[in-house]
Copies of this chain bind each other. A is one copy, B any other.
Amino acid sequence: MGGEAAAAAAQGRRILVAVDEGDESVQALRWCLGTFAAAARGDTVILLYVRPAPPTYSVLDASGYLFSEEVTAAIDRYSREVADAVVEKAQKLCTLYGKEEGEGDHEMKVEVKVAVGDARTVICQMADKLRADLLVMGSHGYGFFKRALLGSVSDYCLKNASCPVLIVKS
């Protein structure tokens, strides 16, 4: 692991930050930008927002009313809007910290990923696929439609992500 870690340090680290609409994920991103990520070191911050899959199943729902196609389309549209807003806010924060750091010659590399599915599994898959050196997230969340009811996303990622996980609480 020593060699790997040294190689990662030389190339810059790939830091995956799971963002959602909650304050804690903003805190997590702030912490990451202020304390961990270093543009001068060649680090890349990858912002990941996972939005829930559109409830297509419900078109076939017996009631046929609450989950009409119109409603599912509206939910999907709203979910896209939320995704855009969260990602935009996160990107602004990255730009802001880049300026504060005053590292004029080194701009922080920021990538944005918006995925669809169950936040817990998608985050772990993406950490693997994107070869993240670190996964940063809030302890609660993932906000949309109170996904917390499905079980804590951070608990799941702590157990299942292939990289170290950093949890920031507000």
Q: Which residues of A contact B (CB under 8 A)?
A: 1-2, 4-6, 8-9, 13, 27-28, 30-31, 33-36, 97, 100, 133-134, 139, 158-159, 164-169
Interface of A is mostly: helix
Q: Which residues of the partner chain B approach A33 to less than 8 Å between Cβ atoms?
A: 5
Residue in contact with A165 in the complex, picked from B5, B9, B167, CB distance below 8 Å:
B167
**Across the interface, do B35 and A13 meet the contact criterion of CB distance under 8 Å?**
yes
Q: Give the residue name and chain of the B residue nearest to A30 (CB).
A: B1
**Across the interface, do A31 and B1 meet the contact criterion of CB distance under 8 Å?**
yes
Q: How many copies does the complex hold?
A: 2
Q: Give the residue name and chain of the B residue nearest to A7 (CB).
A: B34
The CB with the most chain B CB atoms within 10 A, among A4, A35, A36, is that of: A35
**Across the interface, do B35 and A5 meet the contact criterion of CB distance under 8 Å?**
yes
Residue in contact with A169 in the complex, picked from B27, B134, B164, B166, CB distance below 8 Å:
B164
Q: Give the residue name and chain of the B residue nearest to A26 (CB).
A: B1
Query: A9 CB to closest chain B CB, in angstroms?
Result: 6
Residue in contact with A1 in the complex, picked from B9, B27, B100, CB distance below 8 Å:
B27
**Across the interface, do A30 and B8 meet the contact criterion of CB distance under 8 Å?**
no
Residue in contact with A34 in the complex, picked from B6, B100, B168, CB distance below 8 Å:
B6
Q: List 13 A-B contacts (CB under 8 A).
A: A1-B27, A2-B34, A5-B33, A5-B34, A8-B35, A9-B35, A28-B164, A31-B164, A36-B36, A134-B166, A164-B169, A165-B166, A165-B167
- Known interface pairs A35-B133, A139-B159; 13 further A-B residue pairs with C-beta atoms within 8 A, sorted by A's residue number: A1-B34, A2-B34, A2-B97, A4-B34, A5-B30, A6-B34, A8-B34, A28-B164, A36-B36, A158-B158, A158-B167, A164-B167, A164-B168
